[in-house]
Structure 1
Amino acid sequence: MSPRHLALAVGLAAVWGFNFVVMQVGLKYFPPLLYAGIRFTLAAFPALLLAGRPGVPWRWVAGVAATLGVGQFGLLLVGMRAGMPAGLTSLVLQMQALFTVLFAVTLLGERLTARRVLGLAVAFSGLALVAFDFGVSGPLGAFALCVAAAAAWGLGNVVQRRAAPPDSLRFMVWVSAFSAPPLLLLSLLLEGPPVLAAPAEGWLSLAYVAFVSTLGGFGVWGWLLRRYDASTVAPYTLLVPVFGMSSAALVTGESLAWTEILAAALIVSGVLYAGSRPRRATTPPLPPSPLPAGRRRSG
């Protein structure tokens, strides 16, 4: 990967990591389902008028919208509103990589290697450490909602893999358009009539997650994936909780306990190990003959 493209990948991880702090700010002024609904509405319009058709059957757009849009972001924002800290949320959500593996094995028939099993075990030990620590000091229900959001993201990844959209940015615009109506309807049913009287800080939060994180982020993500293998680009998402936890500590004063640092190391290393490919053993070359070619030692 060239230095310019490497900078893009690291910058994208920073944008997505800081996204959790921005969402926490927005949730002070909007209920979570309404916040998610407005986010996808802004991401879809007016871009939808210029995007053209998604290039895949509509059932795949609806499937990704149900899992990623409604499932992941709905559960994620409700969990954050219920008390899940921004930095810790960015870490727990990385379990989506492990749920992706599990769903791919179950639904797509992919093979679960011993390497992946070991990586899953290491990462889940980190998640168990987070669950135990947060269960003592914070609302366990909020933690469970974020784990469910990671599972929904993993399922959405499998659906999107089957869809194989030719243009990820155009596809995300349509996914946003399909996600907004059910989220807004759920908000009306569960949160009551929408209240949009928020200060500029709340609307700037929505603008960031809609345009910078969703459209800009997924646009860069798709651009990188068209130029490099997924195995080359995907590991950079492991930097998301690093930026998420550090930005939460700097901006909101969220403290980092040693258990969270250890859990982060277990989850990131487990995901990285499960997703990496073992090196192939190479046969060492034969030592050079001490005699010139064509000559044989006489007996």
Structure 2
Amino acid sequence: MRTRHFLLAVALTALWGFNFVVMEVGLRSFPPLLYVALRFLLAAFPAVLLVGGPGVPWRKVLVAGATLGIGQYALLLTGMRAGMPAGLTSLVVQVQAVFTAVLAVALLRERLTRRRITGMAVAFAGLALIAADLGTGGPIGAFLLVVGAAFFWSAGNIAVRDAAPPDSFRFMVWVCGVAAIPMTALSLLVEGIPRLEFSVEGGLSVLYVSLVATLGGFGIWGFLLQRYDASVVAPTALLVPVFGMSSAALFTGEPISPAELAAAALIISGVLYASTRARPLPSSASAPSVQAETGENRTRATEMI
């Protein structure tokens, strides 16, 4: 991954890490399914009236909306409402990187290089260290809901990679649009007509998750998935719990233990290693393999456009 794209991915993970604290605040004002519906309604309208069509077949928009939108966030917010704290949620949901790598190999025939596997192993050692330091956290049902959300996130990664939209922002607007209507119906069916008490915190929370984390965040995520293998992009999301735990400590006063600091170092170093290529040996014997690799990368880039 190029340096500027890697830095963009890191900035995105900071936005998404803080997003868990914002969602926890929003759930004080809204039930989870309604919160998801409001998120996508605000992200989609009136933008869908201004951006034009999605630029890809509608079936691919529907698949992305069902996975990234309905599946991921319905389970994620329900799990948080059921007892999973923001920091632990930001950790558990990162199992999506493993799901994505497996689905990419199975469905897209991508290759997992030894370097990527090693980097992901180091990063997941950091996640395991955080998990051991935090303990079990919330109830098992809420935990399983968040794991389910991680699976739908990984399926959404594959859907976006397969769609390869020419304009990732426009594509995500329509993904939000196709997710908003069924989520609204699901909220009314399951949660009924809610009694809402407007609060500034709740309103700002919906604005952040819809405009910053959803439109801006997944627009950037789709941009990266267009240019790199899903198994390269997905491990960068392992930085999300680092920023999630830091945000929780800063804004809610949750302490950060020495074990969590050590885990953050493992995660960052693992992601850096997995997301960069090894430099070829400067010898004449290595020239043919370097040239072949360059040709392969050029062909792959052409297929993505």
Same fold (TM > 0.5): yes
Q: How much does 1:243 deviate?
A: 2.3
How large is the Cα RMSD of the aligned pairs?
Answer: 3.4
Taking structure 1 as reference, are residues 236 and 159 closer, same or farther at Cα in structure 2, changes over 3 Å only?
closer
Q: How far apart, CA to CA, are the structure 1 residues paired with 2:71 and 2:193?
A: 21
Q: Which residue of 2 aligns with 1:203?
A: 203
Q: Which residue of 1 aligns with 2:141?
A: 141
| Structure 1 contact 131–143 (Cα < 8 Å) conserved | no
Compute the TM-score of the two structures, normalised by the length of structure 2.
0.79
Deviations 1:24-72 (A, max 9, x none): 1000111111100110001000111101000000011001111100111
Q: Which residue of 1 aligns with 2:278?
A: 278
Taking structure 1 as reference, are residues 6 and 265 closer, same or farther at Cα in structure 2, changes over 3 Å only?
closer
* Matched-pair identity in %: 64
Q: How far apart, CA to CA, are the structure 1 residues paired with 2:193 and 2:236?
A: 40
SS at structure 1 position matched to 2:50: helix
Q: How much does 1:224 deviate?
A: 7.5
Q: Which residue of 2 aligns with 1:190?
A: 190
Q: Which residue of 1 aligns with 2:165?
A: 165
Deviations 1:189-219 (A, max 9, x none): 2222233333222111101111122223344
Aligned counterparts, 1:208-219, within 5 A: 208-219=208-219
Taking structure 1 as reference, are residues 10 and 273 closer, same or farther at Cα in structure 2, changes over 3 Å only?
closer
Deviations 1:70-102 (A, max 9, x none): 111111111211222222322333332332111
Q: How far apart, CA to CA, are the structure 2 residues paired with 1:108 and 1:12?
A: 25
SS at structure 2 position matched to 1:196: coil
| Structure 2 contact 91–241 (Cα < 8 Å) conserved | yes
Compute the TM-score of the two structures, normalised by the length of structure 1.
0.80
| Structure 1 contact 134–140 (Cα < 8 Å) conserved | no
Deviations 1:127-169 (A, max 9, x none): 5555555554432332222222122111111111010000111
| Structure 2 contact 75–146 (Cα < 8 Å) conserved | yes
| Structure 1 contact 34–187 (Cα < 8 Å) conserved | yes
| Structure 1 contact 91–264 (Cα < 8 Å) conserved | no
Q: Which residue of 2 aligns with 1:242?
A: 242
Q: Which one has the largest radius of gyration?
A: 1
Q: How much does 1:123 deviate?
A: 4.3
Q: How far apart, CA to CA, are the structure 2 residues paired with 1:182 and 1:133?
A: 39
Q: Which residue of 1 aligns with 2:53?
A: 53
| Structure 2 contact 90–240 (Cα < 8 Å) conserved | yes
Q: How far apart, CA to CA, are the structure 1 residues paired with 2:259 and 2:144?
A: 18
Deviations 1:255-295 (A, max 9, x none): 3344544554445544444443333223289xxxxxxxxxx
SS at structure 2 position matched to 1:51: coil
Q: How far apart, CA to CA, are the structure 2 residues paired with 1:258 and 1:137?
A: 18
Taking structure 1 as reference, are residues 8 and 260 closer, same or farther at Cα in structure 2, changes over 3 Å only?
closer
Q: How far apart, CA to CA, are the structure 2 residues paired with 1:171 and 1:58?
A: 10
Which structure 2 residue ranges, 5 or more long, are not aligned? 286-305
Q: Which residue of 2 aligns with 1:292?
A: none
In the alignment, residue 99 of structure 2 is paired with which amino acid?
F
| Structure 1 contact 95–267 (Cα < 8 Å) conserved | no
Q: Does 1:110 align with 2:113?
A: no
Taking structure 1 as reference, are residues 110 and 236 closer, same or farther at Cα in structure 2, changes over 3 Å only?
closer
Q: How far apart, CA to CA, are the structure 1 residues paired with 2:56 and 2:155?
A: 18
In the alignment, residue 247 of structure 2 is paired with which amino acid?
S
Greater CA drift, 58-67 or 74-83: 74-83
Deviations 1:234-269 (A, max 9, x none): 776554333221111111122334454455444554
Q: Does 1:21 align with 2:21?
A: yes
| Structure 1 contact 134–143 (Cα < 8 Å) conserved | no
| Structure 2 contact 158–230 (Cα < 8 Å) conserved | no
Q: How far apart, CA to CA, are the structure 1 residues paired with 2:25 and 2:260?
A: 22
Q: Does 1:33 align with 2:25?
A: no
Taking structure 1 as reference, are residues 248 and 102 closer, same or farther at Cα in structure 2, changes over 3 Å only?
same
| Structure 1 contact 64–160 (Cα < 8 Å) conserved | yes
SS at structure 2 position matched to 1:255: coil
In the alignment, residue 33 of structure 1 is paired with which amino acid?
L
